[in-house]
């Protein structure tokens, strides 16, 4: 009997040790908390955004896709998700950024649809920040998307960040992460939808400039193009876009860049 107990205790200890190792492995690999994603459906209320084929309003397709994306992200159990708007209301650009920054979002994804006078222009493209537009079209886009522009969401803090070397380093790091996020989203759209891919571009877009988190802005397609607009008006096609974006966000969340970001974030949180 004694031997039996002894072996049972040994077995129990071994199992406990194994479990402890497993817990340690998971603790190292898994983020310490749910990942905060701020989903930003562009425009809303008095600001319709672009109006295209059959009077398709950008603000409507943005909101519907964003709501679907938020739902899919929540369903994974990995993310805490907030939206800058859940209905057809106007939200200023500074307020969109404040929502992300005050909440300390880990990721910021803005959802838009594109417009061009040339109705043949079509396809999806994903933006991350640059003070210099990647091409004249990107410069034009910044003019359109920044139309509801205002001053910085928090002027005092901007001066502080710009002056410190740490601020510059953090900004460079954030830009690298944003570039990775944008590339992952563009690839997911290319692989999982029939939208033609216009790739990744850079522009000085307000919401990308003023959010602290790695940020990307998705232009899902052109409301001015008949075929793209028909797709964006279709709930089943928007589902495909939302599904593709959700899978891209999950993939980005698994990247070494993001794991590092979360690790640094939890270390900073621990020292505060």
- Residues forming contacts to Zn ion in the complex (CB under 5 A) are 42, 49, 112, 145
Nearer to Zn ion, 60 or 212 (CB): 60
CA dist 239 and 236 (Å) reads 5
Nearer to Zn ion, 144 or 250 (CB): 144
Ramachandran class of 94: left when φ > 0, alpha when ψ lies in -120 to 50, beta otherwise: alpha
> Minimum distance from CB of 129 to Zn ion (Å)?
16
> Minimum distance from CB of 227 to Zn ion (Å)?
19
Closest residue to Zn ion, judged by C-beta, is: 112
Q: Are 93 and 49 in contact (CB under 8 A)?
A: no
Nearer to Zn ion, 40 or 145 (CB): 145
Nearer to Zn ion, 57 or 177 (CB): 57
> Minimum distance from CB of 49 to Zn ion (Å)?
4
- How many Cα atoms within 13 Å fall on the side-chain side of residue 166? 1
> Minimum distance from CB of 141 to Zn ion (Å)?
8
> Minimum distance from CB of 252 to Zn ion (Å)?
22
Nearer to Zn ion, 130 or 261 (CB): 130
């Amino acid at each position: 009997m004694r031997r039996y107990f002894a072996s049972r205790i040994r077995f129990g200890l071994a199992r406990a040790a194994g479990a402890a190792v497993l817990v340690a492995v998971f603790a190292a690999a898994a983020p310490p908390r749910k990942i905060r994603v701020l989903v930003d459906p562009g425009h809303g209320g008095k600001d319709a955004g672009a109006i295209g084929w059959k009077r398709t309003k950008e603000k409507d397709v943005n909101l519907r896709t964003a709501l679907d994306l938020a739902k899919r992200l929540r369903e994974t159990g990995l993310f805490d998700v907030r939206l800058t708007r859940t209905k057809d209301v106007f939200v200023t650009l500074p307020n969109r950024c404040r929502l992300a920054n005050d909440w300390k979002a880990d990721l910021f994804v803005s959802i838009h649809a594109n417009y061009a006078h040339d109705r043949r222009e079509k396809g999806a493209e994903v933006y991350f920040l640059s003070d210099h537009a990647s091409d004249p079209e990107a410069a034009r886009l910044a003019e359109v998307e920044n139309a509801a522009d205002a001053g910085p969401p928090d002027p005092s803090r901007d001066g502080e960040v710009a002056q410190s070397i740490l601020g510059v380093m953090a900004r460079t790091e954030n830009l690298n992460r944003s570039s990775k996020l944008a590339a992952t989203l563009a690839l997911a759209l290319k692989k999982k939808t029939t939208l033609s891919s216009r790739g990744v571009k850079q522009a000085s877009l307000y919401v990308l400039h003023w959010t602290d988190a790695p940020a990307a802005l998705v232009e899902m397609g052109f409301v001015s193009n008949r075929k793209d607009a028909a797709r964006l008006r279709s709930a089943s096609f928007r589902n495909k876009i939302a599904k593709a974006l959700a899978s891209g966000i999950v993939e980005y969340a698994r990247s070494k860049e993001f794991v590092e970001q979360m690790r640094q974030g939890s270390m900073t949180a621990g020292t505060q």
